[in-house]
Structure 1
């Protein structure tokens, strides 16, 4: 006789019980501070909540000037001091309501239809592509012309590209295409056609890879929900182990790790530095990340900590000039600290990679032209034929126009000759604008030069949070520079 196995019934809503009893509270305060808006978040704590909050503000292109974060115990508290990109307070009522609902929506539920409609009309909110598209993900060795060849294959196979985002880091590349059927419209769902497209793209990527070299091409039919493209790119490059290229930063004293070597660097060094120390009395690992400031730096760092299953209990971010410092008090999700040098080394490498991935080199070109079938293939072909290599790209559709941002260098890695840009402009049509002429970290758009902090020379970072955390609030009220998310 077969004996039935009984298991206790657990209500699926049990996990969200605390959130339902104590829903998130979001306060938008324009009265307390003269030059910024305070976004105060008070919520039940859970893993990943910090990333959710930062992601909302990042997607709105807001600038954070100060932030204090605390999530010890079962509660999360944060105050973000924010402005828009021009340094103004947030006064648009629809934007304020959007922030309140979006921050609460990360806890439970979603945005109301009225708020969604208002955000689309006023062009704020996340610029995500809906789940109605087929998604193509690729990782592999970076080389000139790769994006051009892949987009050409998609055009030949009657696939319309709705959006693409591509990153390169050291010798690795990752990109995400959102595509739809160029003939029938809508997503591509036929398994045979999906297999055919994937095979053709695999041939393109494989052509320049040595046997056994890492590469991946995956084509997926639409899935429920939305995917945050930039977070997914971090995950793809992490899975591709691009962080292994960051060993040089650790070994030459310009990376840092389990010793003070991370801050004993050469004067004028602009590389990112990571220092990890143990605060055994309080049971924390203290992570300091120092780097050159750039947009979305905070988001990129928190992405890595969250996806590597670290919990941020306290954090401070601040700026001084063009340097940036982030200080995190963390543990593993299981409550353990980082005790081995291997763990510290890997986390340091991954944080360095996260900082570097978006710090694209090259000339930034903004392209706006009438959308048409095969446009991305044509644009990237023009770049390739003129000897330009794409280091980062983001292209999407807005109405009847295609809007793209490209960072390009000469194929040799040298600076781009402006006469070459003029040739590209003539061949592409529409408008091609030069946003910056930096061969290093991109020059910020707009008047604000935001950042996180820099410490002098061989000064040892202080353990600024812990038993005196509440008495240290004045530290976060000083005149920090703005932090570009």
Structure 2
């Protein structure tokens, strides 16, 4: 309205309640023999549950039980946690939890989504973060890593997931030590972008179009992979193609139900499946990105099995009770659980970091007829650790002779550790973040040092 005026809005008002009532964190490491109790009380806001779960899982902690309540504008969480070996956590970890979840660690900004451009490679400091998604095929990761090697990019960290015949990959790269060119050289990045685009294939009008994206600033790598897959395969996941994947991963077939609670207006989501590391994170991440708020939840693991129940509403404060919406929630959760599921052979490789190491490892796997279903790459000092979940080109278990051939070829330049049937290990150790891989590799590094 002409001549009107707008009321003054203080940008700090949104965080006022958090500053007046800062989060309270209590870590009890003495009352219980078998686990550590972590309690978090805070003003409620969208995404806070994901933040808490994300911090706990990034510390490699196993959440055996959890109780969530956030009615009345106040968020209250209780977690029973252990380390990867099933022991109570150390004082050092307790200090980090209290700092990360306490008043100084809570900014009130929540977790943000970064939407990438359709085509692009973005430089962050001395590192470039490259996001790829496209149709999966045998040897694709080998081709991608070969392009990076030819252009003299070194892979510092990477995460690769495959699902529904699609592959999503995030790579953290920098230059090799022999060039003075900056990692954000627009010419090099343009060449990298074009070559990766050609490898991934797919045209602008192809429903299976490949994308090379970039993220603005820091984003949590596991959450970003979930977002990439959700945006790319929403139609496939909700139109029944997940049924084919279930045949490939029978041990990871979750049972999910979504029902309406008429009395309180909630959607009640129950999940029963084989327990594993990061299961709660994957579910909470998916619900949060689907704009659901978790009001109550009960999490429990009994041996190899997990049972989780969530009472949720949309952010607009009502539950969508249509049959189609309920099915969509169930299918999206099912897909999120299965993306991290891997069966077959696990290869852990450790060697001195150098440009072309990932290319060499994936080339050997490809030449021996192996297909990578999931992978994690990291560097710790001068050491590089690559972890691959592999199957043969037909999707079957890897032959013993192939394993021996791998030992002979890879063992010349790298320390190799082989694990069979990781699906039987319900809590296979995993970690996350840019500074470390999504796999537990401490013992392998010790072997390499000796």
Q: Where on the TM-score scale, by shorter chain, does this alignment land: which range? A: 0.7 to 0.9
Is 1:229 the counterpart of 2:213 in the alignment?
no
Compared CA separation, residues 142 and 242, structure 1 to 2 (3 A): farther
Question: Partners of 1:131 and 1:300 in 2: how far apart?
Answer: 29
C-alpha displacement at 1:311, in angstroms? 0.1
Q: Partner residue of 2:55?
A: 56
Q: Choose from 101, 125, 137 the match for 2:99.
A: 101
Q: Partner residue of 1:420?
A: 402
Compared CA separation, residues 232 and 269, structure 1 to 2 (3 A): closer
Q: Choose from 388, 393, 401 the match for 2:383.
A: 401
Q: Partner residue of 1:148?
A: 142
CA contact (8 A) 1:359 1:441 kept: no
Secondary structure of 2:71's counterpart equals coil
Q: Partner residue of 1:78?
A: 77
Q: Partner residue of 2:434?
A: none
CA contact (8 A) 2:65 2:299 kept: yes
Secondary structure of 1:241's counterpart equals helix
Question: Partners of 2:88 and 2:54 in 1: how far apart?
Answer: 19
CA contact (8 A) 1:301 1:355 kept: yes
What are the superposed Cα offsets for residues 425-480 of structure 1, whole Å, 9 maximum, x if unpaired? 33222211112335x5655448xxxxxxxxxxxxxxxxxxxxxxxxxxxxxxxxxx
Compared CA separation, residues 149 and 206, structure 1 to 2 (3 A): same
Compared CA separation, residues 11 and 369, structure 1 to 2 (3 A): same
Q: Choose from 166, 185, 188 the match for 1:190.
A: 185
Q: Partner residue of 2:349?
A: 367
Normalization by structure 2: what TM-score? 0.84
| Equivalent runs, 1:1-400 vs 2, <5 Å | 6-90=5-89, 92-104=90-102, 105-108=104-107, 132-182=126-176, 183-184=178-179, 188-206=183-201, 212-220=206-214, 223-224=216-217, 226-241=218-233, 244-245=236-237, 247-248=239-240, 271-400=253-382
Question: Partners of 2:359 and 2:3 in 1: how far apart?
Answer: 60
Secondary structure of 2:34's counterpart equals coil
What are the superposed Cα offsets for residues 392-442 of structure 1, whole Å, 9 maximum, x if unpaired? 00011111111111000001111111321222233222211112335x565
C-alpha displacement at 1:219, in angstroms? 4.8
Q: Partner residue of 1:474?
A: none
Q: Choose from 433, 446, 453 the match for 2:417.
A: 433
Normalization by structure 1: what TM-score? 0.78
Secondary structure of 2:72's counterpart equals coil
What are the superposed Cα offsets for residues 237-260 of structure 1, whole Å, 9 maximum, x if unpaired? 0011156246448989x9xxxxxx
CA contact (8 A) 1:425 1:432 kept: yes
Secondary structure of 1:176's counterpart equals strand
Question: Partners of 2:138 and 2:153 in 1: how far apart?
Answer: 22
Compared CA separation, residues 394 and 186, structure 1 to 2 (3 A): farther
Question: Partners of 1:361 and 1:351 in 2: how far apart?
Answer: 19
Pick which of 12-21 and 130-139 moved more: 130-139
Compared CA separation, residues 334 and 47, structure 1 to 2 (3 A): same
Question: Partners of 1:359 and 1:436 in 2: how far apart?
Answer: 14
C-alpha displacement at 1:30, in angstroms? 1.9
Secondary structure of 1:73's counterpart equals helix
Secondary structure of 1:89's counterpart equals coil
Give the paired residue count.
409
CA contact (8 A) 1:23 1:43 kept: yes
Q: Choose from 375, 381, 392 the match for 1:410.
A: 392
CA contact (8 A) 1:234 1:354 kept: yes
Pick which of 37-46 and 313-322 moved more: 313-322
Question: Partners of 1:186 and 1:13 in 2: how far apart?
Answer: 42
Unmatched tracts of structure 2, length 5 or more: 110-122, 430-450
What are the superposed Cα offsets for residues 192-238 of structure 1, whole Å, 9 maximum, x if unpaired? 3322211110000007x896132333254x844x2210110000000
Question: Partners of 2:166 and 2:223 in 1: how far apart?
Answer: 17
